[in-house]
Amino acid sequence: MSVSYWLGVDTGGTFTDFVLLGDGEPRIHKVLSTPASPEQAILQGIQELGLSDAMASGQLAIVHGTTVATNAALEGKGARTLLITNNGLEDILRIGRQNRPELYNLTPASNASAVSQVPTLGCPARLDAAGNTVTALTDNDIAIILAAVREIAPESIALCLLFSYLNPEHEQRLSQALLSAGFAVSPSHQILPTRGEYERGMATWLNAWLAPRVADYLQRLQQATSPAPLAIMQSHGGTIASQQAANQAVNLLLSGPAGGLAAAQRLGQQLQQPHLMTFDMGGTSTDVALLDGDIRLTQQGRIGPYPVAVPMVDMHTIGAGGGSLAYVDEAGLLHVGPHSAGADPGPACYGNGGQHVTVTDANVVLGRLQPDFALGGSLTLDVACAEQAMDRLAVALNLTRQQTAEGVLALANEHMTQALRVISIQKGFDPADFALMSFGGAGGLHVCALADNLGMPRAIVPQRAGVLSAEGLVYAPRKREILQALPESADEDSLRALIVQLQQQGSNELIAEGVSADRIQHRVFVDMCYQGQSSVLQIDWHEEPADRVSRFHAAHQQRFGHRLGLPVQQVNLRIQSQALATPPTLPDGHTQTANPERQATLPGIRTAVAVFSRETLGVGQRLTGPALIYEAVGTTWLETGWTATVNPQGHLLLQRDA
């Protein structure tokens, strides 16, 4: 039976968000997350949406953004993993790049991570820098390694040999022997076929370390939702069938946040505003990113203490969300985050026993979240609990309740402003050239303040902003990002032949998921750098080598403020193979103009504040701050000096007064 409904499911630290398309107006829903077993919240939401029958009949397609890989990495709860590498390189992951977080601290504290406990085995085989065999891999070598592996009995194996990205023969033979013996193996030539033995080794180890946990979760979820097709969002902004996702756990570390960027890119194209800075504020953290037409990818991402060199959305994450805790340190200074109240007990205003002030409580105390606003569509706010928690913090600071709440918000806003500076100013972009797109359950409450801090005159609060990441999952394309290192001797003919080969690989993987060959599109990029550099810039492929070099010089000038008179090297080829999703189009908004539901008096605001229900606003309606615009999954605080106009799709286009 063909699919009739598309459900995006985004699991966050506090809420699990749902967006359903295919039945006229989109339907949205939220339930509290169940971190110990995330699938429980998903099944609860499916049942509450009345989709159990559609799921059982295969009419429901599910696209999921998961935090299982991220949480396992941050909490150090991966599988017991063995690393097999070349003789003499057994300590490569522990040594790393010898970077120190505190450069001038002569007695740094030990910062042990899961890497320091990894058992390792050395392999005597060796390739040279061109991929030629120096020391052959013999059958006896394989037998000795197999015996040692059986004695260690790991849950998973990371296999990373020197220069296997140029010649995978040794890794392929070892992988086959280990798989035949019943072991799960992650070979580096499949995970990250590019140079940089430390980064490649870390990506391979992360994949092996996380894959059993991801596979176990996806298997439980697939069994519970079968026969509904289940796709998983990857860190680079494209989806993959759940059966294939289990073996590519390292590509799921930014699974959830990538959904928001897929939605932002689509909305930017609709609004003809491709230059966006996105600001996704949830209950536990805030993710910020910059879109300059396309979603920007990076190979220099990090998850906790671990570098992640696989292609992933270029995003900066901080521990500041609606549930971030405010506290006073021993010196009497106020702090906000990074610790969060989470889903249980949550902020004090949830009325679930939370005793500590959060950013959400500060918004409640200042009236920006009204008591009759149903948070998450069903959770009524308890103002008295929020005020009691704020009063306790105010006593510690010797301030009034209002002053304390304003201080909590000002500090949270400064944390988020600094994160936005990292992805814009520090990378050569002027924030004033971009529009600030706000989403996430708490984003609309802070969007005007952040835009003011950055001198940005334009902002956008999308329709259904509180669940935009879940909606973006539905529209994200089936996608593969294929990366291949280039030998130094590669000429133009061999580059073109390799492009054809990698495009065919991407097509084959998508066709295996049921994608029609005529729907697959390819984009080609090349990673380039100046001779002697280790970091690269991604450049669109052009047939003429001189065009690629010219574009690299211009990109280096824009990113770093200068260009060098050095030879330019081509380091990696990147193939982006994708098939666009085709869920139903959404209806435009209505044209009836709405009046305010009431006028509210807010602490610190001298004039009455108009309160609007967002679902009643008409296309073309113009609102002037101060105003509150509430909906089931979020609230927008339109500050004095800002106006908001409703566009035909129902998005709020904010403009700062001149």
How far CA 590 is from CA of 269, 399, 629, 634, in Å, comes to 22, 46, 17, 20
Residue 322 lies in a domain: no
Which residue from 284, 643, 269, 636 is spatially nearest to 465, judged by alpha carbons? 636
Task: Select from 545, 579, 613 the last residue of a domain.
Answer: 579
Domain with 227, as residue range(s), is 5-73+214-252
Looking at the structure, tell me whether residues 490 and 575 fall in a common domain: yes
Mean pLDDT of the chain: 90
Backbone angles phi, psi at 575, to 5 degrees: -115, 125
| Chain center to CA of 377 | 24
Q: Residue 374: its pLDDT value, please?
A: 62
Which residue from 73, 38, 66, 112 is spatially nearest to 210, judged by alpha carbons? 73
Number of domains in the chain: 3
Residue 188 lies in a domain: yes
In this prediction, residues 461-479 reach a mean pLDDT of 90
Q: Residue 483: its pLDDT value, please?
A: 92
Please enumerate in sequence order all residues whose Cβ is within 8 A of that of 103, keeping only pairs 6 or more positions apart, or say none. Answer: none
Task: Select from 515, 548, 579 the last residue of a domain.
Answer: 579
pLDDT digits (tens, 9 = 90+) for 96-118: 887 777 788 888 777 777 888 89
In this prediction, residues 61-72 reach a mean pLDDT of 90
In this prediction, residues 584-588 reach a mean pLDDT of 69
Looking at the structure, tell me whether residues 50 and 83 fall in a common domain: no
pLDDT digits (tens, 9 = 90+) for 135-173: 999 999 999 999 999 999 999 999 999 999 999 999 999
- Is a pLDDT exceeding 60 seen at residue 377? no
Task: Select from 579, 594, 619 the last residue of a domain.
Answer: 579
In this prediction, residues 538-546 reach a mean pLDDT of 91
Looking at the structure, tell me whether residues 27 and 147 fall in a common domain: no
Question: Mean pLDDT lowest for which of 66-75, 353-362, 412-421, 526-535?
Answer: 66-75
Residue 434 lies in a domain: no
Looking at the structure, tell me whether residues 69 and 82 fall in a common domain: no
In this prediction, residues 536-553 reach a mean pLDDT of 92
Looking at the structure, tell me whether residues 121 and 184 fall in a common domain: yes
Q: Residue 285: its pLDDT value, please?
A: 79
Q: Residue 587: its pLDDT value, please?
A: 67
Q: Residue 375: its pLDDT value, please?
A: 60
Residue 466 lies in a domain: no
Looking at the structure, tell me whether residues 184 and 237 fall in a common domain: no
Backbone angles phi, psi at 189, to 5 degrees: -70, -15
Which residue from 351, 357, 353, 366 is spatially nearest to 337, judged by alpha carbons? 357
Looking at the structure, tell me whether residues 58 and 95 fall in a common domain: no
More confident residue, 86 or 114: 86
In this prediction, residues 327-341 reach a mean pLDDT of 89
Looking at the structure, tell me whether residues 83 and 199 fall in a common domain: yes
pLDDT digits (tens, 9 = 90+) for 483-532: 999 988 888 999 999 999 999 999 999 999 888 998 999 999 999 999 98
3 burial type by CB count under 10 A (0-12 exposed, 13-18 middle, 19+ buried): middle
Which residue from 329, 334, 330, 303 is spatially nearest to 316, judged by alpha carbons? 303
Residue 339 lies in a domain: no
Q: Residue 482: its pLDDT value, please?
A: 93
Q: Residue 178: its pLDDT value, please?
A: 96
Looking at the structure, tell me whether residues 39 and 150 fall in a common domain: no
**pTM given for the model:** 0.86
Instruction: Show the beta-strand stretches assigned E in 420-497.
Output: 435-439, 458-461, 478-485
Q: Residue 381: its pLDDT value, please?
A: 86
pLDDT digits (tens, 9 = 90+) for 20-61: 998 777 888 888 888 889 999 999 999 999 999 989 988 999
Residue 635 lies in a domain: no
Question: Mean pLDDT lowest for which of 174-178, 350-354, 566-570, 606-610?
Answer: 350-354
Residue 435 lies in a domain: no
Distance CA 225, CA 421 (A): 42
| Chain center to CA of 115 | 23
CATH number at residue 36: 3.30.420.40
| Chain center to CA of 311 | 12
Looking at the structure, tell me whether residues 218 and 169 fall in a common domain: no
CB atoms within 10 A of CB 329: 8
Q: Given pLDDT bands bounded at 50, 70 and 90, which one contains residue 379? A: low
In this prediction, residues 180-194 reach a mean pLDDT of 95
CATH number at residue 164: 3.40.50
Residue 102 zone, left/alpha/beta (φ > 0; ψ -120 to 50; rest): beta
Backbone angles phi, psi at 479, to 5 degrees: -155, 150
How far CA 267 is from CA of 115, 260, 276, in Å, comes to 41, 11, 10
Residue 292 lies in a domain: no
SS3 205: helix
Q: Residue 153: its pLDDT value, please?
A: 94
Looking at the structure, tell me whether residues 91 and 186 fall in a common domain: yes
- Is a pLDDT exceeding 60 seen at residue 357? yes
Looking at the structure, tell me whether residues 115 and 144 fall in a common domain: yes
